[in-house]
Structure 1
Amino acid sequence: MSAAHQSNPDRPHPDRPHPDRWIKVRPEGLYVEPGGFYIDPVRPVERAVVTHGHSDHARPGNRHVLATPGTLAIMRQRMGAGVGGSLQPLEYGEGLNIGGVAVRLVPAGHVLGSAQVVLEHAGSRVVVSGDYKRRPDRTCAPFEPVPCDVFVTEATFGLPVFRHPPDLGEVGKLLHSMALFPERSHVVGVYALGKCQRLITLLRAAGYDRPIWLHGALEPLCRLYGEWGVELGELRPATVAAKEDLKGALVLAPPAAVADRWARRLADPVVAVASGWMRVRQRARQRGVELPLVISDHADWDELCRTLEDVGAPEVWVTHGREEALVHYATSRGIRARALALIGFEDEDLEGGPEKAGEGEAP
């Protein structure tokens, strides 16, 4: 057993109620019973705490919504009037008591505004991670490990085969291809929220200062990121551009658009997709991807394992993804672990999922 999981005086006393007595899995999602609220509910509820703006976590129709200001801005932009009833912002690190449960939000490093939910009740601390990554990202606040008694984690890439390569190396592959084929357009499939803006900032960090052309579905959230201080450089609308203007250009589009009629306006395009799933070559071939870019907004296997060590929780609950492997790893480290098997959360870039048209998640 690692030192992080040895006896800890801050752990709940045996006479205090275990967190599974006051946090329940219901059809609507993860329910915090004494506070009367759900975290990332998959159905409309009275009170919701939302970790981030991707559409499998932030859904319309809740009567009361608590989230970071960044997440609420994203929800307003994407859902309009359907965003919900009352919207309550909570800044990172601020505390709030809801029905005897102390609640605060800390950065998750996933996308703009993404948060982990820290819950303290009856002598125990539970951290619900939402989706997260551990790599530097200029578009959002970095993940903050919080020591806790129970850590509730995703496991989208919870298999040892998923070890994401360095981000700038993948961007270098794209820039190298553009240099090799200067007469061809390069179209990269990215999701509207998070991946699009992150890829742009990675390109800028690598020295690419030319205009980047955007499919119309990507423009609104890029504008919002700009309003929140994320510098993206010169962006141009690709939807109304002449074919000649796009010759040799870099174009970003939702993954579904790179294979449909929309892409025919491009000059002999090199088709790329930026996703953690591009590690699976068969998936890339099935989608007709010539240039797979392994860039993800989720933690890979090593990062998931490191996070369990960093938070030092003696117990781990896995919400969605490849639960079995992470549960097995945690158990081998002396950590109690179980899968919650929550429904309604999609894997990154899952074909046919809610993000298919580019309106939602994307790793």
Structure 2
Amino acid sequence: MPPHPESWLRVTPQGLYCEPGGFFIDPQRPVDRAVITHGHADHARPGHEAVLATPATLAIMRARMGEAGAGTVQQPIRPGETLVQNGVAIRLVPAGHVLGSAQVVLDWQGSRAVVSGDYKRQRDTTCAPFEPVNCDVFVTEATFALPVFRHPPPEEETAKLLKSLALFPDRTHVVGCYALGKCQRLIRLLREAGWEAPIHLHGALATLCTLYETLGVPLGPLAPATVANKAALKGAIVLAPPSAVQDRWARRLAEPVVAVASGWMRVRQRAKTRGVELPLVISDHADWDDLNRTIDEVGAPEVWVTHGRDDALVHAMALRGIRGRALHLVGLGDEEDDAPQPEAAA
């Protein structure tokens, strides 16, 4: 009989550890061997000796943390390829979260576990879509695992932004969005909606936009958002880190309309307390319906929940006869609480 994954995957202070393979998945502390699901800093930390990840994730880690930050030894593995480490077969399968994001598929002695990292099911032209994989244990995130979180189509939210631009053509629309993934996705949504003018970037977003284009994701004309030229930014779209839209930087723009693109904008009180005039519910995480749909599609009789609102999700699974278990891994969270990027000449 194949061994249950709980006999060979365990939670440690460093993170989730594959014992027969001798490696960690998204470890929170420096380790000898790490498999990294994606480049957000709550999953990709510096200081590991050997790092296995998709080529795009390794490139993102180097851009954010320097060459050494992505591991002393860096081993790229493309989706569909298989690597065997001490008898454990490792595959990376697209997660649909951000460019390069992947689920980790582990097979050992006839038993299979899939560690999702972060994922979403909505369409996103900046990264490969999520692929369900049947398994014995599925390890899922639960960032938005409450029934109140049902994300609208992102095209509808983009239309809200363009409608506001038409109503207030003399005001600068500054949109808070995370530097990795959300920024580039929003740019692509705007291009698809017909916005052809240059999109202006806070300095903290420029590096990863350049990297995305290098990796084959076209973004169209971009320009630096220099607040000294605020008159030239009337009627323009400016993208900036969420923290920047709340400080003096944004207030120096021309009568700014403050927006934030985040799944958390579903919570009106959160938007109000942050001074957000135009909340845009655009998320790179699965919502309540997509979390439950994904769990049903992978067909795992047991699901482990790594972070977020695990109690509601575990209860919902129990009603369907699926065993749920909260892992309580330390250090994982929403990417908007991630380490800030350097705010170069904005």
Same fold (TM over 0.5): yes
CA distance in 1, matches of 2:228, 2:157: 27
Letter in 2 for 1:297: D
| Secondary structure class of the residue paired with 1:255 | coil
| Secondary structure class of the residue paired with 2:312 | helix
Contact 1:56-1:345 within 8 A present in 2 as well: yes
In structure 2, the partner of 1:310 is 297
Contact 1:156-1:348 within 8 A present in 2 as well: no
Deviation of 1:300 (Å): 0.1
In structure 2, the partner of 1:170 is 157
Q: Aligned ranges for residues 342-357 of structure 1 at < 5 Å?
A: 342-349=329-336, 353-355=337-339, 357=340
Root-mean-square deviation (Å): 1.1
Contact 2:40-2:335 within 8 A present in 1 as well: no
Match of 1:329 among 316, 325, 329: 316
In structure 2, the partner of 1:249 is 236
In structure 1, the partner of 2:169 is 182
| Secondary structure class of the residue paired with 1:230 | coil
In 2 relative to 1, CA 178–240 (structure 1 residues): closer, same or farther, beyond 3 Å?
closer
Contact 2:45-2:69 within 8 A present in 1 as well: no
In structure 2, the partner of 1:49 is 35
Q: Aligned ranges for residues 13-92 of structure 1 at < 5 Å?
A: 13=1, 16-80=2-66, 81-92=68-79
Q: Aligned ranges for residues 109-124 of structure 1 at < 5 Å?
A: 109-124=96-111
CA distance in 2, matches of 1:251, 1:282: 24
TM-score normalised according to structure 1 size: 0.92
CA distance in 1, matches of 2:277, 2:341: 20
CA distance in 2, matches of 1:49, 1:94: 14
Unaligned runs of 5+ in 1: 1-12
Deviation of 1:309 (Å): 0.9
CA distance in 1, matches of 2:99, 2:42: 16
Letter in 2 for 1:287: R
Deviation of 1:42 (Å): 0.4
CA deviation profile, 1:280-313 (whole Å, cap 9, x unmatched): 0000011000000000000000000000111011
CA distance in 2, matches of 1:243, 1:119: 52
Contact 2:227-2:249 within 8 A present in 1 as well: no
Deviation of 1:247 (Å): 1.2
Letter in 1 for 2:121: R
1:198 aligns with 2:182: no
CA deviation profile, 1:236-267 (whole Å, cap 9, x unmatched): 00136511111111100000101112113310
Contact 1:276-1:348 within 8 A present in 2 as well: no
Letter in 1 for 2:88: V
Aligned length: 341
CA deviation profile, 1:9-51 (whole Å, cap 9, x unmatched): xxxx3xx321111001000000000000000000000100000
Q: Which moved more, 1:237-246 or 1:266-275?
A: 237-246
Unaligned runs of 5+ in 2: none
| Secondary structure class of the residue paired with 1:242 | helix
Contact 2:178-2:335 within 8 A present in 1 as well: no
In structure 2, the partner of 1:10 is none
- Structure 1 runs, 4 residues or longer, greater than 3 Å off: none
Match of 2:92 among 105, 112, 118: 105
Contact 2:15-2:26 within 8 A present in 1 as well: yes
CA distance in 2, matches of 1:151, 1:346: 18
CA distance in 2, matches of 1:305, 1:331: 12
Deviation of 1:84 (Å): 2.0
Contact 1:118-1:125 within 8 A present in 2 as well: yes
Identity of aligned residues (%): 72
CA distance in 2, matches of 1:76, 1:231: 20
Deviation of 1:348 (Å): 4.6
Contact 2:165-2:235 within 8 A present in 1 as well: yes
CA deviation profile, 1:57-103 (whole Å, cap 9, x unmatched): 00000000000000000000010033321000000010010011000
CA distance in 1, matches of 2:175, 2:223: 15
CA distance in 2, matches of 1:18, 1:308: 18
TM-score normalised according to structure 2 size: 0.97
Q: Aligned ranges for residues 115-154 of structure 1 at < 5 Å?
A: 115-154=102-141
Letter in 1 for 2:55: P
CA distance in 2, matches of 1:82, 1:33: 24
Deviation of 1:234 (Å): 0.4
Contact 2:227-2:253 within 8 A present in 1 as well: no
Letter in 1 for 2:45: R
Letter in 2 for 1:73: A
CA distance in 2, matches of 1:76, 1:119: 26
Deviation of 1:347 (Å): 2.5
Letter in 1 for 2:186: L
